[in-house]
Structure 1
């Protein structure tokens, strides 16, 4: 009897918490790293390892992995997984290596469309760090023949990461910036895209992971309020609204992200093709 296939996740966070149950149901075992919350990792069906802390044990897991997912973001301008485990990953027998990046690598397109072949022109430091990380992983993959797949995620939402709490509390703000649109992706769809890619490895592939309906952020908040039977949050002009530099930076980029490739090459049919579907499902789950 052959051993169960094994996934190692470096940075077992929100998205990996939805991928793990999918794979466990298919007979996989999963090891996921955490800084300080092993119980959260265990609750998803994965075996936790602390990183930093249990590096040798983690290298042993990488050495027997069938698939490796790098979900940890850049730290001080470099990818910590590449820094700490690049050599181990280069020697791993894994047949699939995934890196979670962001659509922020495309920068601001003033509402125009981008696809995976669009130039990378990040306009924020976060975006520049992600481009540097993608480039570093591609260099390692080229040097060692690694089966690298890059996933550029749009704005992630899902259970526990939606607008309902702020709308209910009266703290949500509809910041109006004419022409501003964002692409989004429900966490369940991230999980199904990753699972589909693991089944259909295509080394060197890059995928945009987003839904079908880029939309202004104020529309999402207004729809959330409608679902709750509450009035829309107050509208504020972006130019004069009081915002933290971090919050304001999210409005520095406006683009529509195309997702044809995940459908064409991975056969993905989105569970939540737009925010209306995603928010309705989240509210229904809360009510249950």
Structure 2
């Protein structure tokens, strides 16, 4: 990707990691962020940064050969007008490749089954429905233009600076293991490497499950994190009790259970994950 013009829309934690990898290859990277504070953080890393309002009706985007779209949808509703506005802005100066981070929530609840990318998309939460709307917009965009679009369906992200320290400190309860649904996750460093591989080697029009391939449960994640941090493990409650005590946002994760197959990711993108399981990944967070 040497000397390519690369645009990272929504250049937060994952975007910064991708940008650092791109710097090593000699790419010209511009990160788009919402605030001047975020722009200053990018400048401190030697990156070109611009502040931008993705909700502006007159949105314009810098020209780039390759675009990573990491900006989230709006927090409400079932559509992503933010991405659709961005795609409209790109039509005048079309990028060659476009990588989008979606969510495994587009599959909805799969009763704990192992699923691949051919699983029907039936999101239950508004969060998942917004991402499905974005995927449909990208499918249409790729079909109407010469831009090659690659979608990454990503579950929970963990890594340095992302551990649930405050939740553990407050001793918020978790669902007892016997009732807890299957969840999947990926380390932030591995996600950045996969995003870069998707830009280089992903098949145009393809979607990829991105996970370490070792699903556990949310309760296991919080328990392992607590042990790692030397904090008390969270109290356990029943699923019925959780439905009365937890927020709707947390409950939406407990209503979905699936295990992600990542065969396509490994075959097409040829990535070797640094953190192939939760135990290895959590240890890295304190190094």
- Per the TM superposition, whether the score is higher than 0.5 is yes
Partner of 1:21: 20
Once the 2 structures are TM-superposed, how far is the Cα of residue 84 of structure 1 from its aligned partner? 2.9
Shift of 1:43: 3.8
- State the 1:234 CA deviation: 1.5
Report deviation, 1:186: 0.8
Q: TM-score, normalised by structure 1?
A: 0.89
Q: How far did 1:71 drift?
A: 1.3
Distance 1:86 1:229 in 2: 46
- Secondary structure of 1:239's counterpart equals helix
C-alpha distance 56-66 of structure 1, shift in aligned 2 (>3 A): farther
Note the aligned Cα RMSD (angstroms).
Answer: 2.5
After TM superposition, the structure 1 = structure 2 runs for residues 3-82 of structure 1, keeping only pairs within 5 Å, are: 4-36=3-35, 37-52=38-53, 59=60, 61-62=62-63, 65-75=64-74, 76-82=77-83
Q: TM-score, normalised by structure 2?
A: 0.89
Alpha-carbon distance between aligned partners in 2 of 1:53 and 1:179, rounded to the nearest angstrom: 37
Q: Distance in 1 between matches of 2:153 and 2:211?
A: 8
Q: What secondary structure, in the 3-state scheme, does the structure 1 residue paired with 2:240 have? A: coil
After superposition, where does 1:1-288 map in structure 2 within 5 Å? 4-36=3-35, 37-52=38-53, 59=60, 61-62=62-63, 65-75=64-74, 76-167=77-168, 169-176=169-176, 178-241=179-242, 242-283=245-286, 285=287
Q: 1:74 to 1:24 in 2, by over 3 A?
A: same
With 29-38 and 228-237 compared, the bigger mean Cα shift is at 228-237
Greater displacement, 19-28 / 36-45: 36-45
C-alpha contact (below 8 Å) 2:179/2:238 kept by paired residues: no
Alpha-carbon deviation of 1:93? Answer: 4.6
Structure 1, unmatched stretches of 5+, are: none
For residues 198 and 3 of structure 1, the distance between their equivalents in structure 2, rounded to whole angstroms, comes to: 13
Is 27-36 or 45-54 further displaced after alignment? 45-54
**Secondary structure at the counterpart of residue 127 of structure 1:** helix
Gaps of 5+ in 2: none
Report if aligned partners of 1:213, 1:274 keep a CA contact under 8 Å in 2. yes
Displacement of 1:228: 3.2
Q: Which moved more, 1:47-56 or 1:86-95?
A: 47-56
